[in-house]
A and B are shown apart, each in its own frame.
Chain A
């Protein structure tokens, strides 16, 4: 448009110039004047057009953005996988697609819903219809679809539907490993258990710096063994049902390294759907709950007495009469009413005899010993949920007496198991860990709390308890189990009740040189049938026996049928 205009003006000027040799100003003016006005007109038209285009641009630029605000994919942080000691996946990140719709772009709502129903049969028709026919720019239809569902929806070819990918933490084991692994929140940040521990170890900082890109994080290997963990969880579930207990818990601890091979606390939750994880009843009882351990403490009292050198394994204590002390009477549950030797005190679980042994050591010595084996301090381990044990503010004689058989000091089951391991592994207290640890590392950090000789004596006492005492039901042929039962009375309305109990049970195998400790607790178990008793030897011993029978071959403990009744020979020599 522009070029032809100019061309014409110029040609007109050239014609004018060529017609006569003399340049007449008037004629040039006459032609030029017309030309000039044309030029101006063309300029004006062009200017008008460009002004219109420019104005429209400005208008568009200033106009309110009417475009639908699609939500950003939720920026969820990457986390490393958690694997067990054999490399089995315990927790991993998976990408899921979430379905959204832009109602304005949907042509036929009925058709869209009908098609969607073929893939998502449980979609609420009415609700979806209301959402899709609304004026909203954007609605979520379903979060976290499986890839199969996503591809099926894509194949439907419905306009106005779209996907956003979101990262989600997935726990293939479900509730099997719930408490140890812990939880993550919607932003994939660890808020409990090992997940929180990993964040505190620097993962949170890495994520803040943007360095924790997916694929750059090595999996974190834990000391757990998924198979043993499952066995523990399964057996605890069965026992809890069988004895109608309100809670159950257990830990399988490597006695030589302090590695926790399995740990479970029931009731628990499903970390994939943790709607009830924060209920008070579902806390991790093994490390975040404190309980009076009952007669299992007699093991510590006996070890202390033997290790002090003041009591010999062949010494005898008079348990004929109940012990009177400041208005309290200490009785025996299975009273023998005679003089008992140290092994007999342990296998008949004599309160009187144990109290007398503690008396030999004295109040100060007693407290110092429990402190030494870590039962009076908060245990240090990777899990963030660790409770502080309780003890009397001042230790009087009556406290020392009751604590000698497990009442008056409340400890966490996990730290009790660690202290038991110290009594049996040759006398070294090794803090329990949820990460792999070698025996050399354990020896380096382990602290000697009792002598080798005492430890050997305690092993035989536990074996004796399996053969002649309350732990018979935990025996597994070939694995040579050493046991100690504990049946603590619970405090109900400020008094010890003899009908509500907290049952604890220690099992070690093989008893002559324990590789693993199994520690199981049942809270308020009831007799299986009316008239039957619900003491630890009845409820917890078979439970521990089953766990050992199923788990020992997986843990690589070699069965040995060669050394029956060694314990009897040693203790009665």
Chain B
């Protein structure tokens, strides 16, 4: 009663249905994954926005000023004086040290100096 062609066609139909089902299932799974990722991306973006706002809050001049005032004595902070601003060209005009001067002694002198800068160990 069943001819070979019938069997082949039925097999083809079943496999086609199976394939379609598989593809659909897979695409649905992927779509879910995309949705989940999109939600996560949105969450991350929101978090970035929030962190940016947080950062600008933490770097407000008002806050930095307060911190500078608090640690003024501890870190020996002082407001910048106009005299301390110099350009590179101005530095060039400062004459070189005489070559034969005992450089080591000068550094030794500096260490004995009372003013302590950041570069000198206490």
A interface residues (Cβ-Cβ under 8 A, vs B): 88-89, 92-95, 147, 170, 172-174, 176, 215, 226-227, 230-231, 234, 476-479, 549-550, 552-553, 558-559, 561
Contact = CB atoms under 8 A, between A and B. Distances in A.
Interface in B37-55: 45-47, 49-50, 52-53, 55
B59 interface: yes
B56 A558 contact: no
B87 to A, nearest CB: 7
A47 to B, nearest CB: 36
6 contacts: A88-B56, A92-B49, A93-B49, A94-B50, A172-B56, A559-B85
A449 to B, nearest CB: 32
A559 B49 contact: no
A89 B82 contact: no
Contacts of B47: 147
Contacts of B85: 478, 553, 558-559
Nearest to A479: B82
B61 interface: yes
A172 B87 contact: no
A561 B90 CA distance: 12
Interface in B50-72: 50, 52-53, 55-57, 59-62, 65
B83 A559 contact: yes
A550 B82 CA distance: 10
A549 B82 CA distance: 8
Nearest to B54: A172
Contact of B53 (A170, A176, A553): A170
A230 B79 contact: no
B80 interface: yes
B60 A173 contact: yes
Nearest to B45: A215
Contact of A553 (B49, B52, B56, B82): B82
A558 B87 contact: yes
Please classify the interface of chain B as helix (H, G, I), strand (E, B), loop, or mixed, using the class held by over half of its residues.
helix
Given A234-B65, A559-B83, A95 B60 contact: no
A147 B62 contact: no
Contacts of B87: 558
A557 to B, nearest CB: 9
A552 B79 CA distance: 12
Contacts of A94: 49-50, 53
Contacts of A559: 82-83, 85
A116 B61 CA distance: 36
B53 A230 contact: no
B106 to A, nearest CB: 27
Contact of A172 (B46, B60, B80, B83): B60
Contacts of B80: 553
Given A174-B62, A553-B80, 9 more contacts: A88-B56, A88-B59, A89-B52, A92-B56, A176-B62, A478-B83, A549-B79, A550-B79, A561-B83
A277 to B, nearest CB: 19
A230 B62 CA distance: 7
Contacts of B52: 89, 92
Please classify the interface of chain A as helix (H, G, I), strand (E, B), loop, or mixed, using the class held by over half of its residues.
mixed
A172 B55 CA distance: 9
A230 B82 contact: no
Contacts of B79: 549-550
Contacts of A93: 49
Interface of B: 45-47, 49-50, 52-53, 55-57, 59-62, 65, 79-80, 82-83, 85, 87
A333 B91 CA distance: 49
Contacts of A172: 53, 56-57, 60
Nearest to A478: B82
A95 B82 CA distance: 44
A93 B47 CA distance: 12
A77 to B, nearest CB: 16
Contacts of B46: 95
Nearest to B55: A89
Nearest to A146: B50
A244 B57 CA distance: 30
Contacts of A476: 82
A89 B53 contact: yes
Contacts of A226: 61
Contacts of B60: 172-174, 176, 230
A88 to B, nearest CB: 6
A92 B52 CA distance: 9
Contacts of B49: 92-95
Contact of B82 (A174, A227, A477): A477
A310 B56 CA distance: 55
B27 to A, nearest CB: 27
Nearest 6 Cβ contacts at the A-B interface: A478-B82, A230-B61, A559-B82, A89-B56, A172-B56, A172-B57
A317 to B, nearest CB: 37
A499 B107 CA distance: 62
A234 B60 CA distance: 13
Given A173-B60, A230-B62, A234-B65, A92 B83 contact: no
A230 B53 CA distance: 18
Nearest to A561: B83
Contacts of A549: 79, 82
Contacts of A227: 61
Contacts of A215: 45
Given A173-B60, A176-B60, A147 B65 contact: no
Nearest to A552: B82
A154 to B, nearest CB: 13
A558 B50 CA distance: 37
A97 to B, nearest CB: 10
A145 to B, nearest CB: 12
Which of A172, A477, A558 counts the most B-chain CB atoms under 10 A from its CB?
Answer: A172
Given A147-B50, A552-B82, A553-B82, A230 B65 contact: yes
B69 to A, nearest CB: 11
Contacts of A95: 46, 49-50
